[in-house]
Amino acid sequence: MEKIYDVMILGAGAAGLSAGIYASRGKLDTLILSEGVTGGQMVLTNEIANYPGVETIKGYELVDIMRRQAKSFGCTIKTNVKIVRYQLAGETKEVELEDGRIFRAKSVILAPGGKPRSLDIPGEKEFEGRGISYCATCDADFFQDKRLIVVG
């Protein structure tokens, strides 16, 4: 008999992991699918200082805590998968992966996250996280009293 999850979450960033923690803690059979790594953009964040209850933490450390917490409640997490088809209408939702596997659930939470747009300029990749930032509100303190350029 095919497995039907209670909740399937598409995306394993902060929102997807949070949803996974709450759903699985609520005794719902929960699956998280992510086309990237667990944590999304948070993994690339050197220092997080605006997460409630935590003074400062490295992004990958917070991701690891959230991942372990979700798994401790029984959440299944599958990363680096490519979704090629989905059907979200009807009673049972369905997602098909590039390798042919099909996952079904009673409900789906979309938490795809975001991806910063690259300027595609010389030195951009080299200085990413070392002067080039994609989140003005996140990184403003690092640039206080410094000359800078904001694009966008």
pLDDT value for 36 = 87
DSSP for 43-99, written as a single string: GG-S-B--STT-S-B-HHHHHHHHHHHHHHTT-EEE-S--EEEEE-SSSSEEEEETT
**Domain coordinates of the chain in residue numbers?**
4-115, 116-152
Length of the chain: 152
Per the model's pLDDT, the better-predicted residue between 79 and 143 turns out to be 79
pLDDT tens per residue across span 80-117: 999 999 999 999 999 999 999 999 999 999 999 887 78
59 or 116: which leads in pLDDT: 59
Indicate if the alpha-carbon torsion angle 81, 86, 88, 90 is positive or negative. negative
Distance between CA 54 and CA 96 in Å, rounded? 38
Confidence of residue 1 (pLDDT cuts 50, 70, 90): low
pLDDT in the model for residue 41: 85
What's the pLDDT at 96? 98
- pLDDT value at residue 100: 96
Which has the minimum average pLDDT: 27-31, 57-61, 140-144?
140-144
Across the range 127-150, mean pLDDT stands at: 80
pLDDT digits (tens, 9 = 90+) for 121-137: 998 888 887 788 777 77
Mean pLDDT of 5-20: 97
Domain spanning 4-115 has what CATH number? 3.50.50.60
